[in-house]
Amino acid sequence: MDDLPPGTEIIGDNTTSHHDASSDVTSDPDQPMNWSSMRKSVHFGLLQLYVMMVFATMCSTVPCWSAWNTELNFSYDQLNNGYATQMAGLAVGCMIFVPLALRYGLRPVWLATSLLTLVTAVWLGNMSSLWEWYIINLISGLSGSPNEALLPFVIAELFPVHRRGLMNGIYLTFQLGGNYFGPVAAGYIVESQGWRWVWWWCTILQGIITLAMLFSLEESTWHAPPLQGCIPSTTIVSHKLDPTGSDKPQLSELTKQSTATGSVYPETLGQSSPSRSKKSYRQRMALITPNPYISDMNRLPGALYKPFRLLLFPAVGFCAIQFSLAILCIAIVVTTQGTLYVLPPYNFSAIGVGNMNLPPVIGALLGAMIGGVATDYLSLRVAKARGGVHEPETRLWLFGLATALSVGGLLMYGLTIAKGMPWVINAVGVGILSFGITASMGIATTYAQDCYHHVVHDAFIPVSFMRNILAAVVAYAMPPWVEKIGYYNVFVCLGCIFAVLGSTYVPFLFWGRLWRVKTAARYRLEATTKLNPGH
């Protein structure tokens, strides 16, 4: 049998209901995959609170637009351009913070960006001029960028393959929860306490989270010696499974190959590994944890452009396209809600504008279940039927549902709001849209993680850049585009684009495994020569 492609894994014994997926795990207690459940929960939970507040701070501006238009004389085009500047900051920020995280550790990046978010909240509470609006949005985008590129990497390092879908679903729920719950709360605060108090509450909550991170969020970067840097094509778990008669590869065949490609860590080949004691609290909470295998900063500039080569890997390119579509939809919803709901026939107050984010919350929760829990369950069931062999393409079986809901929801929301139809129809449409794009983002993220686990942090740099730069371009272009052809035709065009690009999952169902085979050699080269040689 030919060498296994990246992403093909053995995730458990098909004779029991227990599945034990592992990805190059050693006995080192500080390797994130070996952390206790409590240690993982505290770390992951703090990061989710951080993500939610970062996005709440970025997105709570929309219910304030009407007040700023009246009090500060900001036009809606200027407010829209500020939002586009924020998207540009999100796109550029990942290119700055990811290389720094790989050189100095994740903890200083989380703390620095949390402090930056705190600064933007304080500044927004004191804002009085247009230039401040643009600068604040740029800084806000920069501070929010690491979570988009680094959180998928953290999930891949903390959790085995059979739990990644669930954890990506939780991550997207908190991210979109900040996107949507922030404006809901902001609407009520604007009406009851004034718009400046939106940011004082953000300051208080972000300050609490920053303090909690300072004392409880440990460094999760784990460096292995580069001498152990041969990347395996698959993960072999020590269970012995009986053949099932399936025409898919069985574990009994695959174990014969486990030494053919080598492994990242000696223990996976049965070799001994030096015993290591768990780091002390002080070591785990160090402000900086330099990568011992990068001696200087000379290699960091390459990290700004080399990750874009990973877009040539089909799974990464697919993920970038789907995330771009999803963030594009979110950007359009944000700008149209802030612009159209304050005008006739809706004439919504700040509370009304904020409450229109409740349907997307419901949709996001349901979408996270489909894109997370359902795909994990489906993958396990199919892997069991295949004798324990997990193929990442199994996750894409539900992608057609996500695409159909996204396109339908986008058209239902956009065409009805363009015609001034009852807000209830808009609300149902945006809820369906949120369901679809949350599911699609969860599936696409987990698919990329499964296929190219060892380069996932680099892979999400171009993914984050593409999705946010596209959102920025569309946000800048939206006013003249609408002026030329009208909102109705704009949404018709967007629906057609989404339908075409959202269907790009279909070729992966047929040729995804073949493409992973063809990119295997290139993947191993990228994985062994990447900036962080320890993973």
Residue with tokens 């978010």: 117
Count of the separate structural domains present in the chain: 1
Distance between CA 270 and CA 257 in Å, rounded?
14
DSSP output for 256-296: GGTTTS--SSGGGGT------PPPPHHHHT-S----TT--S
- Position 460 pLDDT exceeds 70: yes
What CATH number has the domain bearing residue 512? 1.20.1250.20
Q: Is residue 18 part of a domain?
A: no
Contacts of 409 (CB under 8 A, 6+ apart): 363, 429, 430, 431, 432, 433, 434, 435, 436
- Position 535 pLDDT exceeds 60: no
- Position 102 pLDDT exceeds 90: no
Q: Taking residues 240-248, what's their average pLDDT?
A: 40
Tokens of 72: 């500060």
Q: Is 399 helix (H, G, I), strand (E, B) or coil?
A: helix
Q: Is residue 142 part of a domain?
A: yes
Q: Is residue 285 part of a domain?
A: no
Instruction: Report the greatest alpha carbon distance in the chain.
Output: 72
Contacts of 339 (CB under 8 A, 6+ apart): 65, 76, 80
Q: Is residue 299 part of a domain?
A: no
* β partners of residue 10: 389
Q: Is residue 8 part of a domain?
A: no
Tens of pLDDT, residue by residue over 68-95, are: 999 999 999 999 999 999 999 999 998 8
- Best CA proximity match to 173, nearest among 467, 437, 464: 437
Tokens of 526: 């990228």
Tens of pLDDT, residue by residue over 377-387, are: 999 999 999 88
- Ramachandran sector of residue 12 (left: φ over 0; alpha: ψ -120 to 50; beta: rest): left
- Position 356 pLDDT exceeds 50: yes
Q: Is residue 297 part of a domain?
A: no
User: Residue 477 CB: number of other CB atoms within 10 A?
Assistant: 11
In this prediction, residue 99 carries a pLDDT of 84
Distance between CA 254 and CA 231 in Å, rounded?
16
In this prediction, residue 272 carries a pLDDT of 41
Q: Is residue 290 part of a domain?
A: no
Counting residues of the chain whose pLDDT is more than 90, the rounded percentage is 56
Residue with tokens 């892997």: 383
Distance between CA 237 and CA 14 in Å, rounded?
12
Distance between CA 468 and CA 91 in Å, rounded?
5
Do the bridges between strand 234-235 and strand 389-390 make them parallel or antiparallel, or are there none, so unpaired?
Answer: unpaired
Q: Is residue 10 part of a domain?
A: no
Distance between CA 171 and CA 190 in Å, rounded?
28
Q: Which domain holds residue 101?
A: 36-224+309-529
DSSP E strand stretches across 127-239: 234-235
Q: Taking residues 95-119, what's their average pLDDT?
A: 92
Question: What single-letter DSSP state applies at residue 231?
Answer: P
In this prediction, residue 301 carries a pLDDT of 60
